[in-house]
Every structure is written in structure tokens, then in C-alpha cells.
Amino acid sequence: MPVHDHAVADGVATARGGRASALKPAAKVRHARGREPRLAPWAFVSPSLILFAVFAFAPIAVAVVLSFQNVQVFGGGTWVGVDNYANMLSNGLFWTSVRNTVVFTVGTVPTSAALGLLLAIMLNRKLPGRGLIRSLYFLPMVVSGVAVSLVMVWIFNDDNGIVNAFLQATGLPRISWLSSPNWAMLTIIIAVVWGRIGFCMVTYLAALQGINPSLLEAAQIDGAGSWRRFTNIIWPLLNPTTYLLIVLNIVFSLQAFDVIYVMTGGGPGFSTTVLVQYIFRSAFTDGKMGYASAVGVFLVVVLLLLTVLRNRLSRRSKDLT
Amino acid sequence: MTTETSTPVKARADLKTGTERMTVGRWVVWLLLLAGGLLMFFPIYWVFVTAISPGGLAQGSGFSLWPSRIDFGVFARAFQQQPIGVWMLNSVIISAVSVLISVFISLLAGYAFAKYRFRGRDILFGLMLLTIMVPIQVIVVPEFVIISKLGLVNSYWSVILPSAAQGICIFIARQFLVALPDELIEAARVDGASEAKIFMRIALPMSGPLIAVLTILTFVWRWNDFIWPLVALQTPDKFTMSVGLNSLNGAYAHPWDQIMAVTLISMIPVIIVFLIFQKQFVQGIAESGLK
């Protein structure tokens, strides 16, 4: 029952006093039958529904079906049951990409969340030129993955990059940022964190502005220093935001593709091949559509589990506020 | 003893006047923030400096942050040697049409999900949200088969239509429209207004901020889209800016000043949109993340 029916029914109920409680359910039902249009919502939803059905639901359904088939490139498929999933679990490269995905996620998520929090706290006060400083941190958010990648490839270029020139000028050894399997993942993590700090900062800033200032004033008057105010008041109040931000960032990291695709293409070797990269590679380089779909379904299941977790946390954060 | 009594008094005075004095600690924070901000800005600065330095300011030997010679001719050369004008136009057309469709259909659907109760509503809404969780790499093959069955491969529509169906936009629209007062809708219904008229006369005029947020977010996303246009668009005359930019990377060794010039050109539209609509953009990001 939509909210307005409750509101109207409640209004009627209060007007009629004591008898109303008996009349209320009947009034509500009659009200709903008479007023609630049946076709209108479908008319409003239908443009989206058509586009989603053709370009989202159908391909997702096909991907699930493909994951149980052996498919030659754009030819027909033969039913192979769970073979693709079994192959996946016994494939060394699959586990390499799982490991890389974990490393990438662990490298990007806590870093960008922590930096975002630090910046939000520093910026959540009156400072000269605050708007401009904030813009400097936000700006990378709107730069495309391809542009970020090309810039970073140039900055971290082994021979002519500014980073290596800087290292050399300060007497440190040059580093093979992108051509060494030991460093490539770190370089990609730096590029991705650069683009994501702004998002974390924005989210934390919004949460900080929701904190009742009188709480902090009271603590300040009681003589709590800024560190005590942070650990005892701000941090606990930010907990729901932190949980949500971490889950969201994990989802972003599991889906991250553009930067890796352009910067390293998953190499050198397979040192930066994460799961989405592996899926794309299996489908387009190896031509194993069915197998690629199976890995895709595995990844989507992981993402859905994270969403369930996110919803739980979101509900909890609503209970707290 | 003196400090114990003076601190709360000082704090109270600060709170009362609402101004915050710049203490030494505050200046340190400010300097740190500024240094960090400049570091964040550095890659964008470096794109610009590399572009205008003849040969791309290679750092093979020395270390310099500013070019010794400046050459703005690189932009003209880039336009001559790469079909940047075409890529730009393709990106503008594809982003604009996709944003229009996306915003329009998301408003309608968001309104239905927010203000009506109908059979299958929650399941349908759930399914649309679920699509957010599916990485494009997972469905890129079936999506391509659908596009080719429809005869759309290498056309603007092959990118526009799939990218117009955005679960996140429907989600944001619903969250916003749920807050519209039901009394207004109910009153219009009592007056005999049709459902379409109620949407046009009540919901739409109150959705200004929502439309702004959706337009800006989707424009930036569509402009930056890469993987699906890369698969769907096959000839350079149909490339978007991102796909075209990527084609400069790799095997064919282009000079770095030119690559960075094209990179800079590709970033300009979103940076302008961002600087003008920063408030709505930030608000949209914060809201879609938090709710």
C-alpha cells in the first residue's frame, strides 16, 4: 500500500474517532480499488523495460546459458553441463587472475578510503581557497580510464618518464614501473587510486556534514582534544559510511577494466591480469565464449553476495540514524 | 591551571563568532592539503606540458617540470593527422542522445517505482538494479550478437541503445521521486487529472535537481565509456574519443606530444562540464553512494 493511502486512511480514522479502527481496513481497500491506476505504472515503466529486456536482461540470460555450453566463435553451442566451471577451477591462469584481483582490490580499496577520509576531515572546515583545493582532488574523477592510462603510461615510462627522472635526480635507482612484473600492479594501483580518492572524499564529506556539530562542541567544551573527538565521536559515527564505501569500492575494483586494459593489457606476463581482464581475454583472444561466460557468472555471483552485504549494512546504517 | 580554564573559554568564543582563526596547526593542514592537491593535479598538468613541448619533454637525461620551448602547433597537427574532429562529433552525438534517452526513461520508470504499487514492481526494480552488478565484459559477446541481429553494428545506435539502459539512473530517480509529496498527486487525481498529466504537471516540474544530477553524471559516464564502444564501433570514422585515443596507444609509435595533445582534447569537454556543474556532480556521487 503506498504511503498516501495510509495518510488518507489515517486522516479519516482520526476524524471518526473511536469507531475508525474498525472501518480503517475496509476504507483502505475501497480507496485503493477506486484510485490506484493499473495501467499507468506499466506505461511509465515500459520504455525502460523494453531497453532493459533487449540490451540487459537478454544478454545476461544468454551469458548464463553460454556458461553451460561449449561455443565456437559465433557458431552454435553444445551442452557440456558444468564442464566450463570445472575447467575454470582447475585452470592455473584463473587462479592467477583471482589472486591478482585480490591484490588489486586490497591495494586500491583501503588506500583510497583512508586517503578520502583524511582529506575529508582536513577539508571539512573553513580554509582559504577550500573550494579550489577540493576541485583539485575531485577533478581526476571525471577523467576517462583511457586518458588516465595514457597519462600514467607516460609519467611512469621507463626511459623518458618524469617519475624515473625524479628518482634519478634524487639519487635513487630507476624503476621499471610497467615493464617489470613486480612493479606493474603497483603502478596500476597508483593510477586507479588517483582517480578514486575524490569519490571517497566526497562520500566522507557528505557524511561529516551530517554529524551534529553540537556533539563536537560539547566534547570540545569538556576538554576533548581533536584526536579524542575523532576517535570517540567522529569515527564511530562514520562507521556506516566506512562500511558502505568499502563494499562499493570492492565492487568498483572487481569491475575495473579500462585502466588495466590500456596500461598493461594484463601483462607483463599475466602479472596484472584480473578477472574481468581474464574474461575478456578468454572470449576474444582464446575464442572460448562458454568458458568466459562461466568465469563471468562466477564473478557476478561474488558481486551479488557483496550487494547483499551492502544492503544489510545500509539497513543497519538507517537504524543508527 | 591557566591553560585548563582558557581552552574551553577560547573554544566557546570561536564557536560563538563562527569564524575559525588560522592557527599554526591550521596553516600546516592547509599547506599539506595544497601540496596534495597539486600532486593530484600533476598528471593533468603533465598532459598539458607534454603536449606543448616539442618532442614531448622526454626526461631521458635531465629533470625539468617546465618546457624550454613551447609549441602550440601540436594541436593543429593532431587535428590534421588524426580524425579528432570526427571522433569528437561522434562522442558528442552518442553521449547526447544516450543521455537524453537515459534521463527520459529513468524519470518515467523511477516515477512508476516510487509512486505506484503494481504487480511485479519490486522484482522488476530488483532486476534492473541487478544489472549494475554485471560487468560489461560478462555480457559483451551476447550483446554483440543482439546488436548484429538488429543490424546495428558500427552504428551510433549500437552504442546509444545499450548504454541508455542504466540501472543506476533508475535507482537515483526513484530515490529522488519517492520524496515528492503524495498529497499533491492525490489532490490532482481527485480533481480528475489523468496519470500522464499528473506526471507532466506535478512530478516533472519538481524534478529539476534530479534531471540536473542525472544529466551530468550520465554525460560524464557516456563520454568516458570505453569497452562497449571499442567492441561495437569498428571503423575509425565511427570511433568515439575514448576509442580513438586508445587507437593511438601501442604498436604505431606516435610522438608523445601528439598523444598527450589528443588526450587533453578528449578531457576538455568533461572538465568543462565538471567545473560548471561541480555541485550537482558531487551531490549526485554522494547520494548514489550513500543511499
**Which one of B111, B133, B160, B265 would you mutate to disrupt binding with A, by most A Cβ within 10 Å of its Cβ?**
B133
| A105 min Cα distance to partner chain B (Å) | 16
- Burial string for A190-211 (b: 16+ CB within 10 Å, else e) reads bbbbbbbbbbbbbbbbbbbeee
Band the pLDDT of A15: cuts 50, 70, 90: very low
Read off the pLDDT of each residue in B101-115 and give the average, rounded to a whole number: 94
Rounded CA separation B220/B157 (Å)? 19
Q: Which amino acid appears at position A260 of this protein? A: I
Residue B259 has pLDDT above 70, yes or no: yes
Band the pLDDT of A290: cuts 50, 70, 90: confident
Rounded CA separation A223/B171 (Å)? 44
Q: What is the pLDDT of residues A209-252, one digit of tens each?
A: 888 888 888 888 888 888 888 888 888 888 888 887 888 888 88
Res A274: pLDDT: 92
Rounded CA separation A255/A273 (Å)? 12
Question: Phi, psi (5° rounding) for residue A78?
Answer: -110, 145
CB contact under 8 A, A2 and B40: no
Share of chain A above pLDDT 70, in %: 84
Residue B135 has pLDDT above 80, yes or no: yes
Res A212: pLDDT: 82
Q: Which residues have C-beta within 8 Å of that of residue A192, sequence separation ≥ 6?
A: A104, A108, A112, A253, A256, A259
Do the beta carbons of residue A138 and residue B278 sit within 8 Å? yes
Res A74: pLDDT: 57
Residue B14 has pLDDT above 60, yes or no: no
Q: What is the pLDDT of residues B153-176, one digit of tens each?
A: 899 999 999 999 998 899 889 988
Q: Which residues have C-beta within 8 Å of that of residue A172, sequence separation ≥ 6?
A: none
CB atoms within 10 A of CB A306: 17
Residue A132 has pLDDT above 90, yes or no: no
Read off the pLDDT of each residue in A95-115 and give the average, rounded to a whole number: 93
Res B155: pLDDT: 92
Band the pLDDT of B15: cuts 50, 70, 90: very low
CB contact under 8 A, B281 and A142: yes
Read off the pLDDT of each residue in A271-279 and give the average, rounded to a whole number: 91
Task: Tell me what the pLDDT averaged over chain B comes to.
Answer: 83
Contacts of A143 in chain B (CB under 8 A): 44, 224, 267, 270-271
Contacts of A58 in chain B (CB under 8 A): 142, 146
Res B50: pLDDT: 85
Residue of B113 and A237 predicted with greater confidence: B113
Say whether residue A216 is in contact with chain B using an 8 A CB cutoff. Answer: no
Residue B7 has pLDDT above 50, yes or no: no
Q: Which of residues 52-81 of A touch B (CB under 8 A)?
A: 52, 54-60, 62-63, 66, 74
CB contact under 8 A, A150 and B59: no
Do the beta carbons of residue A112 and residue A253 sit within 8 Å? no
Contacts of B34 in chain A (CB under 8 A): 129, 133
The DSSP 8-state label assigned to residue A122 in this structure reads H
| A268 min Cα distance to partner chain B (Å) | 14
For chain A, domains (ranges, CATH) are: 3-81 (no CATH), 85-320 (1.10.3720.10)
Read off the pLDDT of each residue in A190-215 and give the average, rounded to a whole number: 87
Say whether residue A247 is in contact with chain B using an 8 A CB cutoff. Answer: no
Residue of A72 and A92 predicted with greater confidence: A92
| A142 min Cα distance to partner chain B (Å) | 6
**Which one of B138, B178, B273 would you mutate to disrupt binding with A, by most A Cβ within 10 Å of its Cβ?**
B138
Residue of A83 and A32 predicted with greater confidence: A83
Return the domain boundaries, chain B: 2-71, 83-290
Task: Tell me what the pLDDT averaged over chain A comes to.
Answer: 81
Contacts of B207 in chain A (CB under 8 A): none
The fold of B83-290 is: MetI-like fold (1.10.3720)
Between B118, B143, B275, which is nearest A41 by CB?
Answer: B118
CA B114 to chain centre: 25
Say whether residue A286 is in contact with chain B using an 8 A CB cutoff. Answer: no
CB contact under 8 A, A136 and B112: no
CB contact under 8 A, A221 and B274: no
CB contact under 8 A, B285 and A141: yes
Q: Which of A137-151, A161-175, A266-280 has the lowest mean pLDDT?
A: A161-175
The winner for highest mean pLDDT among A98-112, A227-241, B186-200 is A98-112
Res B4: pLDDT: 42
Do the beta carbons of residue A198 and residue B44 sit within 8 Å? no
CB contact under 8 A, A162 and B4: no
| A236 min Cα distance to partner chain B (Å) | 17
Rounded CA separation A189/A197 (Å)? 12
Residue B273 has pLDDT above 70, yes or no: yes
CB contact under 8 A, A52 and B128: yes
What predicted TM-score, i.e. pTM, was given to this entire model? 0.81
Res A3: pLDDT: 35
Q: Which of B7-11, B97-101, B150-154 has the lowest mean pLDDT?
A: B7-11
**Which grid coordinates are listed for B57?**
619533454
Q: Which of residues 180-199 of A touch B (CB under 8 A)?
A: 194, 197, 199
Contacts of B36 in chain A (CB under 8 A): 119, 137
The residue of chain A with its CA nearest to that of B216 is: A142
| A145 min Cα distance to partner chain B (Å) | 7
Contacts of B38 in chain A (CB under 8 A): 136
Residue B288 has pLDDT above 80, yes or no: no
Say whether residue A106 is in contact with chain B using an 8 A CB cutoff. Answer: no
Band the pLDDT of A92: cuts 50, 70, 90: confident
Read off the pLDDT of each residue in A290-305 and give the average, rounded to a whole number: 90
Read off the pLDDT of each residue in A142-151 and give the average, rounded to a whole number: 89
Res B289: pLDDT: 56
Q: Which amino acid appears at position A205 of this protein? A: L
Rounded CA separation A294/A58 (Å)? 16
Say whether residue A23 is in contact with chain B using an 8 A CB cutoff. Answer: no
The residue of chain A with its CA nearest to that of B250 is: A262
**Which grid coordinates are listed for A200?**
571517497
Q: What is the pLDDT of residues B55-68, one digit of tens each?
A: 666 655 567 777 77
Between B20, B29, B227, which is nearest A257 by CB?
Answer: B227
Say whether residue A274 is in contact with chain B using an 8 A CB cutoff. Answer: no
Count A/B contacts: CB-CB distance under 8 Å: 312
Share of chain B above pLDDT 90, in %: 27
Band the pLDDT of A321: cuts 50, 70, 90: very low
CB contact under 8 A, A296 and B138: yes
Q: Which of A18-27, A285-294, B115-124, B257-266 has the lowest mean pLDDT?
A: A18-27
CB contact under 8 A, A2 and B117: yes
Read off the pLDDT of each residue in A186-211 and give the average, rounded to a whole number: 89
